[in-house]
Chain A
Amino acid sequence: MTEMNMIQALNSAIDDRLSNDENVVVFGEDVGFFGGVFRVTDGLQKKHGAHRVFDAPLAEGGFAAMAFGMGINGLRPVMEIQFADYIFPAYDQIVNEMAKVRHRSGGEFTCPVTVRTPAGGGIRGGHHHSQSPEAQFTHTPGLKVVYCSTPRNAKGLLTSAVECNDPVIFFEPKRCYRGPFYGDPHNVPTWKGHPDAEVPEGHYSIPLEEANLVMEGNDCTVIAWGTMVHVCKQAIEDSGVSCDLLDLQTLVPWDRDAVVNSAKKTGRVVVVHEAPKTSGFGGEMVASIQERCFYHLEAPIERVTGWDTPFPHTTEWDYMPSPVRITEAIRRTQEV
């Protein structure tokens, strides 16, 4: 075990895959010599060579297509979209091509591409450096969708994503790159000393279908992913309510047993995400839980989400779900 922040953990996962699978190649904007604007690929070009870790021209659609071509011809590309907000020029390649090629070719071609991308708010990034577009990919059959939240699961999940023979969209909560975020922008700790900053060296993987039970309780189930996992932890502590906190980790396919068993146990559920509410993945959670657990539910399922508006710049703390809003939702489930 070594203490790492999320950037180092992601770097460690990619380094391990580059070292142990010659078919892995890494590219994206600024990822080569510079090592990425968030430094996730720092030092990897020097170690593994410029034909394995390199800058791509600034054309997300272009290098997603290149990744597709490499993927169907035996390579295992790990591509970086610098901010999730900039994934949309690649949307056609991801949604119509990567996601469907296995099916459309009768299983003859597969596309084992990992699309890494920093997502989410909390860095004063305004409209175009803050969005969390997971639902735009969970709605596409053929893609696996992952959202890490800590250094440990960042490494474990990214390793599994690269090893996966299906395309994986891998969201990294940029707010948590250097430390967890508990909803207070004036008190921002680093990962130092955090138990989830202890990350195994070498090969380390977490299956892409497992939620992580972050906190265990009896009276409410809180489901979250990415930065919101930490905000929810704070909210649960503030609420004084005994809660299960499930970090979904993989959104597609999500961990049915973990969610259903917890919801049946507590009978009360709050789903939290920072993406907008309408057609957010929270809606999928709520619908699935009522389908599978209806007779166990004791209260209406609550959603706490970003608003159905573009992500703001100066007022971002009024946009992102806060511990206060989540605490109120948890308490409402107890009042029924």
Chain B
Amino acid sequence: MVDERELETASPFSVGKPPARPDQEPGFAAWPWSPTDLTRPDPTTCKSEDTDAHAHGLVRVLGDDDLADGEWNPSLDDETLLEGLGWMLRLRIFDERMMKMQRTGKLSFYMRSFGEECIAIAQTMALETQDWIFPTYRQPGAQFVRGRSMISMINHCIGNIEDNVKGRQMPVHYTWKEGRFISVSSPVGTQFSQAVGVAMASAYKGLDEATITWIGDGASAEGDYHYAINFASTFKPPVILCVVNNQWAISTHANLATGGRNFAARGLPYGIPCLRVDGNDFLALYSATKWARERISAGLGPTHMEIYTYRAGAHSSSDDPSVYRHAEEFKFWPGGDPIERLKNHCIKKGIWSEDKHEKLAELLDEEVMAAYKEAVKFGDLANGPYPPASTIFTEVYEEVPWHIQEQREELGK
């Protein structure tokens, strides 16, 4: 019997391996990066080659001492800090409740943002309200920032008659045009190159709109990722291209997606400025996204970003990560927990306390429960009522063609 770990020399070709498997102590090297490492180049003059250090280092603001430091410190006011903390905590509590409901059959499936709450929230807060969000299933938090009602989100997840996508998509595959939050598609990767098109349309119309999109470390192997950086390089549209390197694509470690560790630097040979950002550092993400937005406002086009983070939870409710990674691996992640880090920062600043945090968590839990109770009044997946079966046949085309009309009549619902 040959184990993958014994094959380093025996294998005729290299097969990437994760740092640890379930029976091994997870070891992550201590981070060599500190908040004062990197300069913040002027976004309105910065060229791709000026970001070599930023692509190979790590943009951080919150240090290991939970204090903000360095040129990337966005110096946010207290209100903004607490707003970000609140959204992140709300998302975590929301996710926990939805996961419990999934276990009782009220949802068919669920995906948490656990450990990655910071990403969509900090980045959406740093953008303008007219900017387009082109998400994967791991950025639902952007909707909180844009003001989507929690009840409306739950209605979608439990597939009831108020689901705005009419029970057609799996849970967490949100669509919300009002918040400029584009429809999530299961084939991860497709959105990345499509976002370039969204941004080009904004440019074509002469509008001050940016588009932000994300792709996972795993899906970055898809052609879509490479189309996107090539087209962004060619047309220089107002797009922010973010690779969320959360280490794991279901069971496939990022080492297998790159053969190495760095995604950020992939944009350099395309002539796109590149940043590698601590994905669990609210301030760093906020600041890096603002920087990219300033470039867009100055008409300079795309930024490529690697968001360095860790998928703390399972890929989805269908996944059991303890089969392929150490059950406690997240505890060893040098980037810590994004909520804890911002909380500790706020406490150190004297604007927050453990007690306030606990009380907020209780309030949010009540809010989630109240929203959930309200949503199930419109039905849930276990008990119905569902959107009517007629919704199978509508909106396939602008108008229902005769052959689909015939099939609808055949079903008789």
A residues with a Cβ closer than 8 A to B are 29-30, 32-34, 37, 45-51, 54-55, 57-62, 85-86, 88-89, 124-129, 277-278, 307-310, 312-315, 318-319
Q: Is the beta-carbon distance between B168 and A127 smaller than 8 angstroms?
A: yes
| C-alpha gap A45/B218 in the complex (Å) | 20
Which residues of chain B have a CB within 8 Å of any CB of chain A? 1-4, 7, 10-13, 15-16, 21, 108-109, 159, 163, 167-170, 173, 185-189, 218-219, 221-223, 249-252, 256-257, 318-319, 323-324, 381, 386-389, 391-393, 396, 403-404, 407-408, 411, 413
Q: What is the distance, in angstroms, from B244's C-beta to the closest C-beta of chain A?
A: 13
A42 closest partner in B (C-beta): B323
The answer on a CB contact under 8 Å between A34 and B250 is: yes
A307 touches B222 (CB 8 A): no
**Candidates B1, B221, B388; contact of A59 at CB < 8 Å:** B221
| A48, A54, A58, A124, most chain B CB atoms within 10 A | A58
Tell whether A126 pairs with B173 under 8 Å between CB atoms, given A45-B4, A314-B381, A315-B389. yes
Q: Identify 15 residue pairs between A and B in the complex whose beta-carbon atoms are under 8 Å apart, listed by A's number.
A: A30-B250, A32-B15, A33-B21, A48-B2, A59-B222, A89-B222, A128-B187, A307-B407, A308-B404, A308-B407, A312-B168, A312-B391, A314-B163, A314-B381, A315-B389
B323 CB contacts on chain A under 8 angstroms:
34
Residue of B nearest to A59 (CB): B221
In Å, the complex CA distance between A62 and B256 comes to: 13
Closest Cβ of chain B: how far from A70's Cβ, in Å? 11
From A30, A46, A128, A318, B392 is in contact (CB under 8 Å) with A318
- Please measure, in the bound complex, the distance between the C-alpha atom of A54 and the C-alpha atom of B403, giving whole angstroms: 45
Closest residue of chain B to A322, judged by CB? Answer: B411
Find chain A residues with CB under 8 A from B1 CB: 46-47
> Known: A33-B21, A34-B324, A309-B396. Contact between A50 and B7, CB under 8 A?
yes
For B13, the chain A residues whose CB sits under 8 A away are: 51
Q: Which residues of A contact B381 (CB under 8 A)?
A: 124, 314
With A and B bound together, what is the CA distance between A26 and B167 in angstroms?
36
* Nearest A residue (CB) for B220: A58
B387 touches A33 (CB 8 A): no
A73 → chain B, closest Cβ, in Å? 13
Give the shortest distance, in Å, between A59 (CB) and chain B (any CB). Answer: 4
- Measured CB to CB, the nearest residue on chain B to A48 is B2
Q: Are A313 and B324 in contact (CB under 8 A)?
A: no
Expressed in whole angstroms, the minimum distance between the Cβ of A323 and any Cβ of chain B is 15
Query: Given the known A-B contacts A85-B187, A127-B169, are A307 and B392 also in contact in the complex, defined by CB atoms under 8 Å?
Result: yes
The reply to whether A318 and B413 form a contact with Cβ atoms under 8 Å apart is: yes
Q: How far is the CA of A126 from the CA of B173 in the complex (A)?
A: 10
Say yes or no: A125-B15 contact (C-beta < 8 A), given A29-B252, A55-B251, A85-B186.
Answer: no
Give the top 3 A-B pairs by smallest Cβ distance, nearest first. Answer: A314-B167, A128-B186, A57-B221
User: Which chain A residue lies CB-closest to B169?
Assistant: A126
Q: Chain B residues near A57 (CB, 8 Å)?
A: 218, 221, 252, 256-257
Docked Cα-Cα span, A51 to B109, in Å, equals 34
Residue of A nearest to B408 (CB): A307
Interface of B, helix, strand, loop or mixed by DSSP: loop
- Interfacial chain B residues near A54, Cβ < 8 Å: 4, 15
Q: Is the CB of A59 within 8 A of B223?
A: yes
Cross-interface CB contact of A315 among B218, B319, B386, cutoff 8 Å: B386
Give chain B nearest CB distance to A318 CB in angstroms: 4
- Determine the chain B residues whose CB is within 8 A of the CB of A313 once the complex forms: 108, 159, 167-170
User: Given A55-B256, A128-B187, A318-B411, is A310 in contact with B168 using a C-beta cutoff of 8 Å?
Assistant: yes
A37 and B323 alpha carbons, distance in the complex (Å): 11
A51: contacting residue among B15, B170, B408, CB under 8 A = B15
- The distance in angstroms between the C-alpha atoms of A127 and B392, with both chains bound, is 11
Bound state CA distance, A9 and B329, in angstroms?
34
Contacts A126-B169, A312-B391, A313-B167 known; 7 new A-B pairs at CB < 8 A: A29-B218, A37-B319, A45-B4, A46-B1, A128-B170, A277-B407, A315-B391
Give chain B nearest CB distance to A34 CB in angstroms. Answer: 4
Q: CB distance A126 to B168 under 8 Å?
A: yes
Bound-complex Cα distance A85 to B221 (A)? 18
Q: Which of A30, A126, A277, A318 contacts B252 (CB 8 A)?
A: A30
Is A89 a contact partner of B186 (Cβ separation < 8 A)? no
CB distance from B242 to the nearest CB of A (A): 17
Please give me the residue from chain B that is nearest to A61 by CB atom: B223
A308-B403, A314-B167 known; A50-B4 Cβ under 8 A:
yes
CB nearest neighbor in B for A57: B221
Once the chains bind, are B257 and A51 in contact (CB under 8 Å)? no
B222: contacting residue among A48, A58, A129, CB under 8 A: A58
Question: Chain A residues with Cβ under 8 A from B256's Cβ?
Answer: 55, 57
User: Chain A residues with Cβ under 8 A from B188's Cβ?
Assistant: 58
CB distance from B386 to the nearest CB of A (A): 4
Instruction: Contact check, B15 vs A50: say whether CB atoms are below 8 A apart.
Output: yes
A29 and B250 form a contact (CB under 8 A): yes
Min CB gap A121→B, angstroms: 12
Residues from chain A with a CB closer than 8 A to the CB of B11 are 49-51
Q: In the assembled complex, which residues on chain A have CB atoms less than 8 Å from the CB atom of B3?
A: 46, 50
Q: Give Cα A200–Cα B318 distance, bound, in whole angstroms.
A: 31
CA distance A171 to B174 in the complex (A): 29
Which chain B residues lie closer than 8 Å to A33 at the CB level? 4, 21, 251, 324
B residues near A58, Cβ cutoff 8 Å: 188-189, 218-219, 221-222, 249, 252, 257
User: What is the bound-complex CA distance between A125 and B169, given in angstroms?
Assistant: 8
What CA separation (Å) do A307 and B408 show in the bound complex?
A: 8
Distance of B31 from chain A, by nearest CB (Å): 26
Cβ-neighbour of A310 out of B4, B7, B387, B396 (below 8 A): B396
